Chain A
Amino acid sequence: MSRAMVEAVAAEMRADEEVFVMGEDVADYGGIFDSTEGLLEEFGHDRIMDVPISETGFIGAGVGAAQAGMRPIVELMFADFFGVAMDQIYNGMAKNTYMSGGAVSVPMVLTTAVGGTYNDAAQHSQTLYGTFAHLPGMKVVVPSTAYDAKGLMHTAVRDDDPVVYMFHKRLMGLGWMPAPPGPKTAVPEEEYTVPFGEADVKREGGDATVVTLGLHVHRALAAAEDLAEEGIDAEVIDLRTLVPLDEETVLESVGKTGRLVVVDEDYRSFGVTGELIALAAESNLDALDAVERVAMPDVPVPYARPLEEEVNPDSEAVAAAVRSVVE
């Protein structure tokens, strides 16, 4: 997935002098998760900028540069580190357009790595989709395949609003963190965009709707394959963007199946799972026969392998939830 992201960034940088990248270890290292790999060679240190470890400073500087009309792509190395720069993200980047009554726009992309599954414990493994999607004013993008990663990046850079682009480490195709086969999709060489707010039905099925995003798209698809052998036909929807949220695709599917399972690697309470189920309930309670959510329980991500495996939902957990709503 990383190469697809980089292709889009490079194309946008070639097309527009105003696009630049800044973040920790984005230049010579190429991004800890390869998210800027190779860009330094073509664009140099002026446009691929390593910055001091000072997230408040450089994310806030991104906001300022964006308001001045540039199109910065700013990397927060791990989503978990947002805390030190929360003010610039929440109170500036997200709100300035609204507070200014539309007088100001913030065409900035904040890229950040999310997710666990490699035992890096509570400060480096969070997914935090809900945290970023909860506060109004930022578009939130979560690609699960290389094809989407490229198309969504083109859309993100061209968007006049702040976009948080959350990529899962386990999907990047890093040598040191093997990815499942799912994200390695074919990527056209030419530019193309994947529009925001259009979920992708990754697998059609009539018995239950599984809504998910990021790494768990692939776990849900694996679960669906297992379930198919048992005669259960699950539909798997990849949200692709949380803000805007494609309500229509989800509701249509739930209307068809009557059963909804939401799968999220973020914490269970006050997040994506509750949001989607509330959406379905508000829209058409009668259409709902059963719901189930599969998410990280409300505990910080533990370090030891048996503990992390316990809390991070695997495909077996997804399959079990689908079985329970179908019963």
Chain B
Amino acid sequence: MYDDMVTARRYEERLQEEYLEGKQPSFDISAGPIPGELHLAAGHEASGAGVCAHLRDDDTVTAPHRPHHVAVAKGVDLKRMTAEIFGRETGLCRGKGGHMHLFDPDVNFACSGIIAEGCPPAVGAAMAAKKRNTDAVAVAFLGEGAIDQGGFFESLNLASVHDLPVVFVIEDNDWAISMPKERVTDVENGADRAGGFDLPGVRVDHDDAVAVHEAAGEAVGRARDGNGPTLLEVQVHRRMGHFMGDAEGYRPDADRERAEARDSVERIEADLADYGVDDDELAAIRERAESRVEEAIEWAKEQPEPDPGQAYEDVFTNPVGGAAATDPSAGAAGGDD
């Protein structure tokens, strides 16, 4: 767990550096080696690591627009994920998906950029496991801002009524971009949403990876044993802006300071020290994580960019009328503006 957490933290620190390259002094979202939006998960690591510690490769995970810490903990190929974020041909999605749309079928991981969109497919994966009589489970991660979305409610109901092996994990960082939780949601505890659907709702406070691990163990075990879904909410903190470039003008300083003071990584370090794990051991794990991250980033940057013609491939698995779905000559010529 500690390994996953520090790997995720280090990974995102490095992504942040790479992302800012070419975007300074004045921030231009389309400039630099990593264009587009980038949502970093610093402060969310405890939930990804604590939950995924109970998962196998054949368990399905759907993550939202802030996916890296979950991907790391689920065992997504770090090098190919990085190549994808850099828009390279050998990336997980051949450069077509980018950071919000990562797919790694080898470990049954997917994420998407539409709020609560991952909930129904997780229910579907759980349905498939149940129909096939396997003991695989599915986990959908979502933010606390996503729990007002219709797709989430419909998924809770469907999972509950069919007793499906799925766990919904709400990462409550108190903010949905600029909207504080209390202004848009009437319950303080998102796990209370479980009440109307006849499934257990559990909340874990304060970025505590060990407590998350325990609660998730119970929820995943319940699903695996055929006892149905659980709604688990984890208090995390957003240590930076919603996306890179978000100046957070709407956010009170006190709130940002509180987020910084409550760090899941520091907390697990303290816990491990209490358990008698010595500093050297932790330092060794950190070093390993750092070199793994560095290797992934270096590898990704050496990878080729996709050939423009590849834009026409992959629309269909079974292409309509030949190798590509659309005749490239019918589209626009390449451009540079």
Contact = CB atoms under 8 A, between A and B. Distances in A.
Interface in A37-54: 50-54
Contact of A313 (B115, B150, B335): B335
Contacts of A57: 148, 150
Contacts of B245: 176
A318 B57 CA distance: 48
B209 interface: no
Interface string A207-230: 000000000000100100000000
A53 B312 contact: no
B223 to A, nearest CB: 26
A27 B151 CA distance: 25
Nearest to A124: B113
B179 A297 contact: no
Interface string A286-300: 000000001111111
A266 interface: no
Interface stretch (B29-37, B126-134, B200-208, B254-262): B29-37
B312 A304 contact: no
A54 B193 CA distance: 15
Interface stretch (A13-21, A101-109, A112-120, A134-142): A112-120
A25 B177 contact: yes
B196 interface: no
B305 A268 contact: no
A56 interface: yes
Q: Is the interface on chain A under 10, 10 to 19, 20 to 34, or 35 or more residues?
A: 35 or more
Contact of B336 (A177, A300, A309, A313): A309
Given A25-B177, A305-B35, A296 B331 contact: yes
Given A175-B27, A307-B95, A294 B308 contact: no
Contact of B305 (A56, A299, A305): A305
B113 A25 contact: no
Interface of A: 24-25, 27-29, 32, 50-57, 80-81, 83-84, 117-124, 175-178, 219, 222, 268, 294-300, 302-317, 320
17 contacts: A25-B177, A50-B178, A53-B176, A83-B114, A124-B100, A175-B27, A177-B29, A222-B337, A295-B332, A300-B96, A303-B93, A303-B97, A303-B98, A306-B87, A308-B311, A310-B334, A314-B333
